[in-house]
Amino acid sequence: MRASPHSSVRRLAPALLAWLFAAGCADQSEPDPSPPVAPLIMAQEASAVSAPIILRGAVVTADGALKQGYVGIVGGRIQSVSSRQPDLPGAEVIRTDGIVIPGFVDLHNHVPWNVLPRWHPLRRYANRYEWQVDPDYLRAAGTPFDHVGASHFCAMNAWGELRALVGGTTSIMATQPDPCIHGLVRNLDFNSGFYGTTELDREHIVSVLGIPLPDDPSGRADFVNAARFLIGNPGFEALALHVAEGIDASSEEEFTFLQAQSLLNPKGVLIHGIPLGPPDFRAMADAGTALVWSPRSNLELYGTTADVGADLDAGVEVALAPDWAVTGSATMLDELKTADAWDRRHLQGRLTPRQLLDMATSVPAHAAGIDDEVGALRAGLRADLVVLRGDATDPYSSVLRAGPREVQLVMIDGVPLYGDATLMRKFWAAADLERIDVANAAKALAIPAAGVSVAGLAAELAPALAAEGTSLAPLGGIDPPEPE
């Protein structure tokens, strides 16, 4: 049985602890650079689009937006970002008439669960342990996931990655490793492709579902030892922890435990932090620890969310992420809308559209230590990017208004993986493309690069979910209502 993504963690997963301590005993300065098992799936057919590419559109850079700009791509990386067309011999020039942004970096999701339709809780909870045992949750999500996941986990994970992809996500935190995860989008904690190998579970980022409870002192001691090893090991970029997911004293205690053990640190990425207050955020800022904010799911489950205003006042980096589509947003685009609505209603509009976009791109990349690879449109970085249909004169606000229908193109490592059917035909032969309908728009997936078929996954998953009394969630998702 696969655990709930928010389940009570009385100790770290034994496999994780064994791996950490084995690494510690071996005195490794970096994760084991073992020989690659296979190339990234997304790059297997890169030769089909190996010529340089120039994208023309409104380009959102770290320094602002170019109303008419050009992104030159060579060998899977960004060669140039400019207001004039670069001179790249043999390049295919694509006039997108859209808005070119970095691909979204999602540091908090539970990918295979996103095959399930949305669950609307009948009440609010004090902490994550309450709803995990709620019969309504078990009927709607927990039990179907366990039953279907026992034999269809790989397909479930692929469908969840597709849901992320159609919303513009190019990097994601998965939290449930499995050898079948090949990386349709980059799995930052399991198979990112950043380190010259795709041997699974050898990443430089570790994601932990939770910390042991106070009634498990030996588990807490093991956790502290493992966390200190990661923090002190220069080969690791980030340690992401689900902390303080709830509104009660036990949720707050998780944070005070970390603080008492001196585990707040520059590699730390705390997910949730709902009950934290200004002194907590100042401690995080002093230690260089970031926060991942998941407002939609927090509001559905607990009726409130992290005090982002106090967090920002303290100087903490805040990244935005959906959590999961079961109670959170279906895509990063939807989560941006929730964050924008919450900001306007509760923070008096202190977050600009540009800041919100940064919270979904450059901020999470920096928090995870991967901003030297992704998170911005800058020469030398990987060509992980998204093109959206929108108003070139107001690109940031256009991103906040966009949904999956407006996603014209998604590239990972410079490979056009998904987008409008007409645009994808500029890169791929018709036989290589699978036509799909997303949000009533004609889209296409490059099968040689993706390594999966939407129709095939649906044919496998829909009957299995129907047998459990539920249905397969649509790829396009829905826009969230504004939070109160």
Q: What is the CATH number of the domain that holds 423?
A: 2.30.40.10
Mean pLDDT score across all residues of the chain: 89
Instruction: Pick the range with the lowest mean pLDDT from 22-31, 212-221, 288-297, 330-339.
Output: 22-31
Instruction: Count how many domains the chain has.
Output: 2
Residue 458, number of CB atoms within 10 A of its CB: 17
Q: How confident is the model over 456-482, as pLDDT tens digits?
A: 999 999 999 999 999 999 998 665 555
DSSP 278-331: HHHHHHHHHHT-EEEE-HHHHHHHHS----HHHHHHHT--EEE--B-TTTS-SS
Separation CA 424–CA 418 (nearest Å): 7
Residue 11 banded pLDDT, cuts 50, 70, 90: very low
What does the pLDDT read at residue 182?
Answer: 75
pTM of the model: 0.92
Helix, strand, coil shares, percent, the chain, to 5: 35, 20, 45
Judge whether 91 lies within some domain.
Answer: yes
| pLDDT score recorded for residue 66 | 97
* Between residues 11 and 415, the one the model is more confident about: 415
Indicate whether 137 and 285 sit together in one domain: yes
Q: Domain boundary residue among 367, 398, 426?
A: 367
In this prediction, residue 481 carries a pLDDT of 56
pLDDT the model gives residue 26:
33
DSSP string, 371-426: TTTSSS--TTSB--EEEE-S-TTSHHHHHHH--GGGEEEEEETTEEEEEEHHHHTT
Q: Are 443 and 360 contained in the same domain?
A: no
Pair type for strands 268-272 and 290-293: parallel
Distance CA 311, CA 274 (A): 11
* pLDDT at residue number 21: 38
State what percent of residues in the chain have pLDDT above 90: 81
According to the model, what pLDDT value does residue 22 have? 36
Q: Is residue 313 part of a domain?
A: yes
Do 189 and 220 share a domain, yes or no?
A: yes
Shared domain for 143 and 260, answered yes or no, is: yes
Tell me what percent of the residues of the chain surpass a pLDDT of 70: 87
Longest distance between any two alpha carbons in the chain, whole Å: 65
Model confidence at 119: pLDDT above 80: yes
Say whether both 225 and 323 belong to one domain: yes
Q: What is the pLDDT of residue 9?
A: 34
Lowest mean pLDDT among 39-53, 137-151, 237-251, 434-448: 39-53
Predicted confidence at residue 33, as pLDDT, reads 32
d(CA 289, CA 367): 8
55 occurs within a structural domain: yes
Distance, CA of 196 to CA of 318 (rounded, Å): 29
Do 235 and 180 have their domain in common?
A: yes
Q: What is the CATH number of the domain that holds 247?
A: 3.20.20.140
Domain membership of residue 7 (yes or no) is no
- Asked whether residue 148 is domain-assigned, the answer is yes
For residue 37, the model assigns a pLDDT of 31
Better-scored residue on pLDDT, 410 or 1: 410
Residue 463, domain member (yes or no): no
Task: Read off the pLDDT of residues 277-307 as tens digits, 9 standing for 90 and up.
Answer: 999 999 999 999 999 999 999 999 999 999 9
Does residue 314 share a domain with residue 420? no
Domain of residue 344: give its range. Answer: 14-37+105-367
pLDDT at 15 over 80: no
Per-residue model confidence (pLDDT) at position 200? 59
User: Per-residue pLDDT tens for 160-210?
Assistant: 999 999 999 999 998 677 888 877 999 998 888 887 655 555 688 999 988
Give the C-alpha separation, 319 to 341, whole Å: 16
DSSP 8-state symbol, 12: -
pLDDT at 194: 87
> Is 1 inside any structural domain?
no
Regarding whether 225 and 150 lie in a shared domain, the answer is: yes
